[in-house]
Amino acid sequence: MTSETPVLSFEAASKLGKVAAVDTSRVLIAVENAALLPRAAVGSLVAIQGSTAQEFLIGMTERVTRQLREQTAQPDPMVPTTLEVEVVPDDALRVTLLGTYRSVDGTVRNRFKRGADSFPQIDRDCFLIEGGNLQRFMGLLGKELDDKQRLELGTFVLDQTAAAIANGDKFFQRHASILGSTGSGKSWCVSLILERASARKHSNIIVFDMHGEYASLAKPPATSGSVAPTAIASQFKIAGPGDLDKPPANALFLPYWLLNREEMLSMILDRSDQNAPNQASRFTSHVRTLKEAALGTAHADVKATFTVDSPIPYKLADLLAHLTTDNTTKGVGKNGPVKGDWEDKLTRFITRLEAKAEDRRYGFMFKPPAAALEYDWLAKQVLSLLSPGASKHGIKIVDFSEVPSDVLPVVAGVFARLLYDVQFWMEPEKRTPFVFVCDEAHLYLPVKEDADAVEKQALYCFERIAKEGRKYGVSLLVVSQRPSDVSRTILSQCNNFLILRLTNDQDQNVVRRLMPDSLASVLDGLPLLDTGEALLLGDAILLPARIRLNMPKIAPLSQTRDFWREWGEREPDGAAVKAAVETLRRQSRGFIAGV
């Protein structure tokens, strides 16, 4: 086929029928060729002759119906007494319009664009797109993408020989989402996208790994006998209780001084305490003073404009000392000492702060190494994440698996906010875009009404990125098995969706509400998708399509276990159980060494 040959060409015999009714996005086709009806399934593509011979409107079948109708058979004029009734079929297809194909469009041959340019007219001819037409048409979908934009995700279910190629720019530009029930293949899909991104010379992706399951991308396991494939990512880890004394090179700390006032208070302050306003105001005042003192004369320019929220290191012990002084100082009255302004009002606040500071699980925040109290430390840490140098990987897996769940949202939020703020304050022409992959997003991006103070902080950061990130080249890839528990604000900002098998009603409803009405019937198939199959919807692809995702070369460590088979083959490992009990006590899994 040359580029001059029309992609779609139909013979009279393949004519399905005619347009019988039209509304804004749907068309009813009266099927005349009853033999073709069984070949039309829900999801098959139909071409409707457009206003010129070169134009076809393309639609997807939503409903196929055959109604039987009784009609009076032609009475035999020679035998006037016979009146016979015969049963005839009324066949119809209901189709959603998706796009317009033109074999000649100005100087361009064979162009498909999304959206119907005109409404189909009654009685126009309709054809089923199948066989050679289908193959050529699917091939057309990714044709206009150049090599720099192609993000190959799998093959189309409609035509398995055609690669499903998304526009990589559009996929990331305005946030994307991967949704599907547990075990439907989301993490594998993330690995696949990371693998594709790793082929770009300067990819820049930060993965929030809640279970340490993407560790394999940084250290691929060798499969029996063969050499391990090359790593495509670097691994970082939010420092766990076991990493505090001798932090490995890839341990990340988020010292308390990085948190802004609200984030810190969301963790420490009990808003129901009657002294909460006093506690918050003393805290704010002392932090400001300590930060100012830390700036000294060396950073006079920063000192002129900094705020209490600026990330400037100060010592936690100093803060505690100031608060304790407030809490114990008596006031001076006319007749000797009186109750001080803050005396005894900060006790609970101090206790809560001390309890957090002592707990090793929060060590990544309250027990940072001495170096993390130096002024230059922040720039170094951010550099290792955003600009690690050409010899290192552009994909950074950040393991959050040892972060306590009660502060997980704030930690994820602070982490994202920090990098986003750096991008925000950077010279616009020097920014390189980056993506946050938020796996298990329901854990830290919950629906607003349900959010507690800590979660609200995380939501605020991520919702800001969802709303404004596009302008600064920061994008989210939200991954979740419970879309109904994920912030609607964030999901509704996503422009591209990969939706895998989704069985729960509530979750399906959320997804339906995110999609235009015309796709309702496409979404009806969600519970029926096979593992590794997905609907790809959004502006990264010209046609909403059911695709079979490719397998990543390196699988994440999330393999579904074969219970029945394993029970027949493997004895539980006693030593491993014993070791796990100790790990539980240590609260450090310690299987992630420096990368």
Ligand X SMILES: Nc1ncnc2c1ncn2[C@@H]1O[C@H](COP(=O)(O)OP(=O)(O)OP(=O)(O)O)[C@@H](O)[C@H]1O
Tokens 């049963």 map to which residue? 87
**290/593 Cα distance (integer angstroms):** 36
Contact 38, 16 (CB under 8 A): no
| Contact residue for ligand X among 25, 310, 531, 583 (CB under 6 A) | 531
185 interacts with ligand X by CB under 6 A: yes
- How far apart are CB 499 and ligand X at their closest, in Å? 11
From ligand X, Mg ion, none, which one binds at residue 182 (CB under 5 to 8 Å depending on kind)?
Answer: ligand X
Q: Which two tokens stand for residue 10?
A: 């139909």
> How many other C-beta atoms can be found within 10 angstroms of the C-beta atom of residue 585?
8
The gap between the terminal CA atoms of the chain, to the nearest Å, is 50
How far apart, in whole angstroms, are the C-alpha atoms of residue 279 and residue 323?
9
Q: Where are the alpha helices (DSSP H) in 127-202?
A: 131-141, 168-173, 186-198
Interaction residues for ligand X, span 553-592 (CB under 6 A)? 558-560
| Minimum CB–partner distance for residue 480 and Mg ion (Å) | 9
d(CA 492, CA 486): 10
The total of other beta-carbon atoms located within 10 Å of residue 63's CB is 13
Residue 549, contacted partner among Mg ion, ligand X, none, CB below 5-8 A by kind: ligand X
Residue nearest to ligand X (CB): 532
Question: Which CB, 189 or 435, lies closer to ligand X?
Answer: 189
Residue from 160, 182, 432, 506 that binds ligand X (CB under 6 A)?
182
If binding is defined by CB under 6 A, does position 215 make contact with ligand X?
Answer: no
Which token pair is 484?
Answer: 């109904």
Residue 473 C-beta: closest distance to ligand X, Å: 27
Q: How far is the CB of 140 from ligand X (least distance, A)?
A: 25
Closest by CA position to 368, among listed 239, 235, 236: 239
Which residue's CB is nearer to Mg ion, number 159 or number 209?
209
Give the DSSP H/E element, type plus range, for residue 313. Answer: none
The C-alpha atoms of residue 436 and residue 422 are separated, in whole angstroms, by 14
Give the Cα separation of 536 and 534 in Å (integer): 6
Q: Is 549 in the site for ligand X (CB under 6 A)?
A: yes
Question: CA angle at residue 168 from 166 to 169, to 5 degrees?
Answer: 130
CB 367 within 8 A of CB 378: no
Q: Which is nearer to Mg ion, 294 or 443 (CB)?
A: 443
Choose the binding region for ligand X from 55-63, 138-146, 551-559, 568-576 (rule: CB under 6 A): 551-559
Indicate the length of the chain as a whole number. 595
Q: Cα–Cα distance between 414 and 254 in angstroms, integer? A: 8
Q: Would you tell me which residues interact with Mg ion (CB under 5 A)? A: 186-187
360 contact choice in ligand X, Mg ion, none (CB below 5 to 8 Å, kind-dependent): none
Beta bridge mates, 106: none
Instruction: Decide: is 188 part of the binding site for ligand X (CB under 6 A).
Output: yes
Q: How far is the CB of 208 from Mg ion (least distance, A)?
A: 12
Segment lying near ligand X (by CB under 6 A), choices 55-63, 176-184, 332-340, 415-423: 176-184
To ligand X, the closest distance from the beta carbon of 225 in angstroms equals: 21
Is 37 or 502 the residue whose CB approaches ligand X more closely? 502
Secondary structure element (H or E) that encloses residue 338, with its range: strand 336-338
Q: Between 243 and 440, whose beta carbon lies closer to ligand X?
A: 440
Which residue in 105, 551, 553, 589 binds ligand X (CB under 6 A)?
551
Smaller CB separation from ligand X, 136 or 501: 501
Nearer to ligand X, 142 or 532 (CB): 532
Per-residue 3-state assignment (H helix, E strand, C coil) for 166-179: EEHHHHHHCCEEEE
Supply the minimum distance, in Å, between the C-beta of residue 185 and ligand X. Answer: 3
CB of 186 to Mg ion, least distance (A): 5
Q: Which does 405 bind (CB under 5 to 8 A by kind): ligand X, Mg ion, none?
A: none
**Using the rule CB under 6 A, is 212 a contact of ligand X?**
no
Please compute, for residue 397, the number of CA atoms within 13 A of its CA located in the half-sphere on the CB side.
28
Q: Which does 495 bind (CB under 5 to 8 A by kind): Mg ion, ligand X, none?
A: none
Would you tell me which residues interact with ligand X (CB under 6 A)?
180, 182-188, 481, 531-532, 549, 551, 558-560
